[in-house]
Amino acid sequence: MSALMQITWLASYPRSGNTFLRSILFNCFGLKSGSIYPNDLGGNKSLESFVGHIEHGENKTIRFPNTIPLIKTHDLNKDDSQSIYVIRDGRATCVSFWNYYGKKISMKDIILGNHMFGKWSDHVTSWHPKKRNKTLLLKYEEMVDNFEITLGSISAFLEQDIISKKLPSRETVAKSDGKWVRSKTDWRAEISSEELDLFNEVNYPVLKEYGYGG
């Protein structure tokens, strides 16, 4: 990636819908994207094709065929570059994260941020997408339920035309992956009342601020 190119971060806490966003950018706008993490999708070529993923080349560089360098990150905010931030209900995110790691990390440790990505609320606070300059905030739930509105928001923000309003179904993609993209589940069935109490104890102010307090 050239230092002269102004990147756009595709930022989120893990398991919040970043892969879904990237698939929208590719399938609906023709925009490919990279990631700060090498081998980001585990070498799954089918998923890479669906997402429009560009893998790192020599010297850890990413060569973009489009004029907008779009880079996925789960890191905390580090600069003032343009960004699209995807937020998802932190309770659903933690359950999805727990499943992603094969339940080898306890739900308690995930909630408390005892892993490389830290707490859900700390990540949201770091990016502060409601007030951060040059930032489009997308809620995962609205991306799913109000797809065409989401396309309009992305189109206006990136100043890019919509070329398609269709995506392969989630189930189709899940069958070829199952890790980054899973079949739809209900997080409420996989988290205990004690774990919910702990989540609220450490995350509730941010959860409520972004409309997930119910």
User: How much is the pTM?
Assistant: 0.87
**Structure confidence at residue 136 (pLDDT):** 98
CA-wise closest residue to 136 among 147, 117, 152, 116: 152
**Structure confidence at residue 101 (pLDDT):** 78
CA-wise closest residue to 81 among 125, 14, 36, 132: 132
**Structure confidence at residue 100 (pLDDT):** 79
Distance, C-alpha 181 to centroid of its chain: 11
Per-residue pLDDT of the chain (214 residues; tens, 9 = 90+): 444 468 999 999 999 999 999 999 999 999 999 999 987 877 677 788 888 888 887 777 788 876 789 999 999 999 999 999 999 999 999 998 888 777 888 999 999 999 989 999 999 999 999 999 999 999 999 999 999 999 999 999 999 999 999 887 666 665 555 454 555 667 788 889 999 999 999 999 999 999 997 6
Kindly give the pairing relationship between strand 8-12 and strand 34-35: unpaired
**Structure confidence at residue 64 (pLDDT):** 80
**Structure confidence at residue 58 (pLDDT):** 73
Contact 151, 28 (CB under 8 A): yes
Sign of the alpha-carbon dihedral angle for 191, 193, 196, 202: negative
**Structure confidence at residue 176 (pLDDT):** 58
**Structure confidence at residue 184 (pLDDT):** 63
Buried b (16+ CB within 10 A) or exposed e, 59-86: eeebebebebbbbbbbeebeeebbbbbb
Which run of H or E residues covers position 70? Answer: strand 70-73
**Structure confidence at residue 83 (pLDDT):** 98
